[in-house]
C-alpha cells in the first residue's frame, strides 16, 4: 500500500526550531493477514471468472442459434439435393429401360423374325407380334421361352426351349402361316 504524507503547518505555540521545520506525519499502515489477502484475491478471481463465464455463455448461445439456423438451411438444401438426385435416378432408369427394350428388340424380335423367314413364313412380322410375348430377355441377357402360364419351357432333352424351336413349333401347328411350295 502507498504511504500518504501530510504536511502540517507549524503551530505558534511550538518552539522556534519546530516552527521552521515542517512536520511530516505518516498515515497508519494497513496490513492484512495472509487469509484476508487470499480472500480478497479469491473474490476478485471469482468476479472475473463470473464475468468471463457470462461472455462465454452468451457466445455459446449465439453459436447454438447459428448452428440451428445452419441445420435448417442444410435440411432445405438436403431436400433439394435429394429431389435432384431422385430426378436424375428417374432419368437413368428411363435410359436403362430404353436400352433394355432395344436389346430385347434386337435379341428377341429380330431373332423371331429371322427364324420365321428361314421357316418360310408368309408374314414373319406377324409371327413376331404373335410370339414376342412368349419370349423374354432376363437380366443376365438370356432368352427364355415361356408357356401360356408364364413358366419357362424346356425341351424333351431338359434344356431351355429355344426361339428356333418355338417358331418352328408355331408354324407347324399353324401351317396357314407357311408359304406354299411350288
Identify the DSSP state of 155.
-
Residues of the chain with pLDDT under 50: 1-3, 14
User: How would you classify the pairing of strands 5-8 and 23-26?
Assistant: antiparallel
Sorted by sequence, the CB contacts under 8 Å of residue 172 that are 6+ apart come out as none
Q: pTM higher than 0.75, yes or no?
A: no
Sorted by sequence, the CB contacts under 8 Å of residue 123 that are 6+ apart come out as 177
The reported pLDDT for the residue numbered 66 is 93
In 109-142, which positions are buried (b, 16+ CB within 10 angstroms) versus exposed (e)? bebbbebbeebebeebeebbeebbebbebeeeee
The reported pLDDT for the residue numbered 1 is 44
Return the closest-CA partner of residue 132 out of 118, 116, 121, 120.
116
Sorted by sequence, the CB contacts under 8 Å of residue 121 that are 6+ apart come out as 127, 167, 171, 177, 178, 179
Identify the DSSP state of 4.
P
The reported pLDDT for the residue numbered 92 is 94
The reported pLDDT for the residue numbered 19 is 52
The reported pLDDT for the residue numbered 9 is 53
Amino acid at each position: 500500500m502507498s504511504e500518504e504524507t501530510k504536511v502540517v503547518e507549524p503551530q505558534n505555540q511550538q518552539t522556534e526550531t519546530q516552527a521552521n521545520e515542517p512536520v511530516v506525519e505518516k498515515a497508519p499502515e494497513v496490513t492484512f493477514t495472509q487469509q484476508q489477502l487470499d480472500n480478497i484475491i479469491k473474490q476478485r478471481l471469482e468476479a472475473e471468472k463470473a464475468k468471463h463465464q457470462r461472455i462465454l455463455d452468451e457466445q455459446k448461445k449465439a453459436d447454438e442459434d447459428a448452428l440451428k439456423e445452419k441445420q435448417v438451411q442444410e435440411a432445405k438444401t438436403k431436400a433439394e439435393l435429394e429431389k435432384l438426385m431422385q430426378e436424375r435416378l428417374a432419368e437413368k432408369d428411363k435410359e436403362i429401360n430404353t436400352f433394355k427394350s432395344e436389346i430385347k428388340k434386337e435379341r428377341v424380335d429380330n431373332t423371331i423374325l429371322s427364324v420365321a423367314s428361314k421357316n418360310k413364313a408368309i408374314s414373319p412380322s406377324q409371327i413376331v407380334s404373335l410370339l414376342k410375348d412368349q419370349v423374354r430377355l432376363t437380366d443376365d441377357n438370356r432368352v427364355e421361352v415361356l408357356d401360356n402360364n408364364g413358366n419357362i419351357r424346356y425341351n424333351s432333352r431338359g434344356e431351355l426351349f429355344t426361339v428356333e424351336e418355338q417358331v418352328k413349333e408355331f408354324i407347324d401347328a399353324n401351317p396357314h402361316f407357311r408359304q406354299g411350295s411350288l
